[in-house]
Structure 1
Amino acid sequence: MTAAWFFDCDGTLVEFTAPYDEIFADACVAVGVTRDDAASMLDPYNEAFFAAFDDFHPEPYCAGMAAALEETGLGESTDADAATLAESLCETETTATTVRDGTVETLDALAERGVALGVLTNGVATQQRRKLERHGLFDRFDAYVPSYEAGAHKPDPEPFAVARERLPADEYVYVGDSADHDIAPAREAGFHAVHVDHDAERGVATVRDIGALGGLIVQR
């Protein structure tokens, strides 16, 4: 029996080492914006970024920064333009990520068992790949399904359908940290779902009943 395990990226494979408002401020300061001005830019940036992201804008980071500069009036008082700010944020996001202990070992153990591995993530393809490559993770996967390439964001079922096309298998498992955006749609798509809960007690796995373990014990 063939098996394919797909993993979420942010919050599952990689996680930020600082609150996002600090990451955003650091990115702005790096290109000449004051920390106070960066704080005023965050809310308009977030609003514009997520609107652009939902619409599959080709450059949502740049769209967000352009809107933030316009709304705050900082476009006329700083030398940093939207493109420069966007690239700084992408780079700062990437460097402000880490991988939890045991992640690489788990991926290696699954691969040694003949399990096909994939990433299924909401995100801009190039940016999510940068994060994975920084930690030497990208090449460990047999398939990469960012929502921007799938044409739909989780919890829409389409990314899961694309995942099945990319890695044909008899059994599918999806590992993610969001109950709403990962676990619920994965189950609806016929995947066995594993919820990564960073607040759970270390060394303790929770399942609804012992029968739930059967679907995770998959081999070629």
Structure 2
Amino acid sequence: MTTAIYFDCDGTLLTFEGEYADLFATACEEVGLDADPESLSATYSERFFEAFEAFHPEPYHEGTRVAFEQHDIDTAPERFVDALLEAEITDTVVDAGAHDALDRFDDDARLGVLTNGVPTVQRRKLERHDLFERFDGFLPSYEVGAHKPSPEIFEAARERLPADEHVYVGDSLEADIRPAREAGFLPVHVDRTSEAGVAIDHLGTLGRAAELL
């Protein structure tokens, strides 16, 4: 029997060391913005998520453009976006045993990444930690035209990596676990907030997932 095991990216394969507000403030400093980072971030985030949900081709630039216009900032949005993405990608971390955990999966299992996100950004995060080449399939929501928890993205995942059984490993009950189950995937919940080992749905780390699959 063939098995395809998909992983969520943010919150599962990768986590962030700090708070997003700090990353935003770092980007403001990097380009020398004389503005209140908290207020600017609120405007940026509102427009970014609107653009992201609508599959705007450049949601980071769109959020920045609107924020700069509303706050009368005369700085090229491209400079800020570059700084923000660099701060975001640099802040990502992986579990100490993540690479070993992926290596422990059966050779017959096909591994993939199924993630909400802009393809170039998600790929850069994975490449930073030498993870991208470990997967047989890479399926960001922007490529599908559907974000999780939409069933369309899980159907696209089945088509990308055909197998007898499909597994989805994720950290969000609403965006990952419940829709994966409804789509016929075996869901594995990486819950970093609970005591590791309490139940099969509370794995804590990728290493624990590898032991159970």
Could you list the per-position Cα deviations for residues 78-102 of structure 1 after superposition, in whole angstroms to 9, with x for gaps in the alignment? Answer: xx31111111111111000000122
Counterpart in 1 of 2:56? 57
Amino acid at match of 1:102: G
Amino acid at match of 1:96: D
Amino acid at match of 1:131: K
Aligned 1:142-153 pairs, distance under 5 A: 142-153=136-147
- Which of 96, 99, 102 aligns to 1:104? It is 99
Counterpart in 1 of 2:22? 22
Amino acid at match of 2:100: E
**What SS class does the counterpart of residue 104 from structure 2 fall into?**
helix
Counterpart in 1 of 2:150? 156
**What SS class does the counterpart of residue 117 from structure 1 fall into?**
strand
Question: Is the 2:170–2:177 Cα contact (8 Å) retained in structure 1?
Answer: yes
Question: Which runs of no fewer than 5 residues in structure 1 stay unpaired?
Answer: 209-215
Superposed displacement of residue 146, structure 1: 0.0
Counterpart in 2 of 1:137? 131
Amino acid at match of 2:8: D
Distance in 1 (CA, whole Å) between partners of 2:3 and 2:27 is 40
What is the TM-score of this pair, normalised by structure 2? 0.91
Superposed displacement of residue 155, structure 1: 0.5
- Which of 185, 191, 200 aligns to 2:194? It is 200
Distance in 1 (CA, whole Å) between partners of 2:163 and 2:212 is 14
The alignment status of 1:119 with 2:88, answered yes or no, reads: no
Amino acid at match of 1:5: I
The alignment status of 1:87 with 2:82, answered yes or no, reads: yes
Distance in 2 (CA, whole Å) between partners of 1:181 and 1:61 is 22
**What SS class does the counterpart of residue 173 from structure 1 fall into?**
strand
Counterpart in 2 of 1:66? 65
Larger radius of gyration: 1
Superposed displacement of residue 138, structure 1: 0.2
Superposed displacement of residue 74, structure 1: 2.2
Distance in 2 (CA, whole Å) between partners of 1:90 and 1:148 is 17
Amino acid at match of 1:182: D
Question: Is the 1:27–1:92 Cα contact (8 Å) retained in structure 2?
Answer: yes
Amino acid at match of 1:58: P
Distance in 2 (CA, whole Å) between partners of 1:119 and 1:41 is 32
Question: Which runs of no fewer than 5 residues in structure 2 stay unpaired?
Answer: 203-210
The count of aligned residue pairs is 205
Give aligned-pair identity as a percent.
Answer: 54
